[in-house]
């Protein structure tokens, strides 16, 4: 098999909690707790889960905005966490990010041309200086914007247009991996569909790989090739889009999918309604054993004493559950 573009192994990221008086460390927020996955070139991995599950922290750790406690992040076979200086700077050029809020992520004092060309100032040599104006217009046209609007400011665009500017900025450095952190969640439904189609077209045309974070499972199903379900800092289920959406085996994944509205109920088999009780526990003091056990209807004593590994069970895709069941078994 070809080497994955991105390979994450046993990644741990936490944030210290310090006392107000002496600034001593009194605890830690375990945002990412032993996450591993591979992402191949040209594919899209969707990260799903409730707020507070660690998706954004995982993405920020991968790109280098957060420093992990332990683990490895390999990009094109090279350890990002072991790099320093010019090598890290050059490698990070190939990993770009599209943020959730298209307005907050753009400098309001710069024109669109200045926002995009700023990447070439930081990383000289990607585009010759005399080609900057033409390259900006090409990027704007590629993302569906009028090239003649390069001299406008972010506040002169709609929300969907601003997100397209953010995508153009990410493409300016010709990356191989783009991390989309809730990139369409703030957009109207019709605009969201247009941006998703744009991302799909860019992936096909440029051979991009996406690490796509989203709450909306319908969006994930539309765009992603593979899906990783996160809960309280851990991946509890991982598989292809078809495996996760048609045959989820972890109870948390089944609960998430049961909450997705079905537009054509007559065209799909009925799915049992699952309503989770309570909120996601605090990452400061997560439950022992299985972290989902405090909300799981199948929890047994073993779940409190032994943490389930993310392994393949039931001849299905990997899931971190001691008692996995197929949807048909749940319905029965």
Q: Does the residue 86 lie in any domain?
A: yes
Domain that holds residue 71: 6-94+175-331
Q: Does the residue 168 lie in any domain?
A: no
What pLDDT was estimated at residue 332?
Answer: 39
Q: Does the residue 22 lie in any domain?
A: yes
| Phi-psi category of residue 197: left, alpha or beta, with phi > 0 → left and psi -120 to 50 → alpha | alpha
Q: If we measure between CA atoms, which residue out of 224, 231, 221 comes closest to residue 252?
A: 231
What pLDDT was estimated at residue 313?
Answer: 73
**CA distances from residue 293 to 14, 94, 310 in whole angstroms, order as listed:** 22, 39, 15
Instruction: Report how far Cα 54 is from the mean position of its chain's Cα atoms.
Output: 10
Q: Does the residue 126 lie in any domain?
A: no
Q: Does the residue 156 lie in any domain?
A: no
How many domains are there within the chain? 1
Q: Does the residue 129 lie in any domain?
A: no
Q: Does the residue 222 lie in any domain?
A: yes
What pLDDT was estimated at residue 261?
Answer: 72
What pLDDT was estimated at residue 179?
Answer: 96
What pLDDT was estimated at residue 1?
Answer: 58
Q: What CATH number has the domain bearing residue 21?
A: 3.40.50.300
In whole angstroms, give the CA distance from residue 40 to residue 225: 10
Tokens of 62: 């991968």
Q: Does the residue 261 lie in any domain?
A: yes
Reported pTM: 0.90
Block means of pLDDT (10 residues each) for the chain, length 332 residues?
88 92 85 95 95 93 92 93 85 92 91 96 92 96 96 94 96 96 89 94 96 91 95 96 92 90 60 81 93 93 94 81 73 41
In whole angstroms, give the CA distance from residue 7 to residue 209: 13
Per this entry, what is the length of the chain? 332
If you search the block for the tokens 């926002």, which residue do you land on?
115
Q: What are 231's strand-pairing partners? A: 234
In whole angstroms, give the CA distance from residue 254 to residue 276: 11
Tokens of 140: 């704007």
């Amino acid at each position: 098999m070809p080497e994955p573009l991105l390979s994450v192994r046993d990644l741990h990221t936490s944030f210290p909690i310090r006392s107000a008086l002496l600034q001593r460390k009194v605890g830690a927020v375990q945002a990412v707790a032993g996450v591993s996955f591979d992402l191949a070139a040209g594919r899209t991995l969707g990260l799903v889960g409730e707020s507070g599950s660690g998706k954004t922290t995982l993405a920020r750790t991968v790109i280098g905005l957060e420093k992990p406690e332990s683990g490895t992040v390999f990009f094109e076979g090279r350890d990002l966490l072991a790099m320093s200086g010019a090598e890290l700077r050059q490698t990070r050029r190939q990993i770009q990010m599209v943020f959730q809020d298209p307005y907050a992520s753009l400098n309001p004092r710069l024109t669109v041309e200045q926002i995009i060309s700023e990447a070439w100032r930081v990383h000289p040599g990607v585009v010759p200086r005399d080609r900057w104006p033409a390259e900006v217009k090409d990027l704007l046209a590629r993302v569906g914007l009028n090239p003649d609007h390069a001299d406008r400011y972010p506040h002169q665009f709609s929300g969907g247009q601003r997100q397209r500017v953010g995508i153009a900025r990410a493409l300016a450095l010709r990356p191989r991996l783009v991390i989309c952190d809730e990139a369409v969640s703030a957009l109207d439904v019709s605009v969201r569909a247009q941006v998703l189609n744009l991302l799909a077209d860019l992936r096909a045309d440029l051979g991009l790989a996406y690490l796509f974070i989203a709450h909306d499972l319908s969006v994930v199903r539309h765009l992603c090739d593979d899906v990783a379900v996160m809960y309280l800092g851990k991946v509890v289920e991982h598989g292809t889009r078809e495996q996760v959406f048609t045959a989820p085996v972890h109870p948390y994944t089944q609960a998430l999918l049961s909450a997705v509205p079905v537009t054509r109920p007559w065209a799909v088999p009925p799915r049992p309604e699952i309503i989770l009780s309570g909120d996601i526990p605090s990452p400061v003091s997560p439950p022992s054993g299985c972290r989902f056990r405090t909300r799981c209807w199948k929890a047994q004593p073993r779940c409190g004493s032994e943490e389930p590994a993310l392994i393949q069970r039931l001849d299905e895709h990997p899931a971190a559950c001691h008692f996995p069941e197929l949807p048909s078994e749940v319905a029965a």
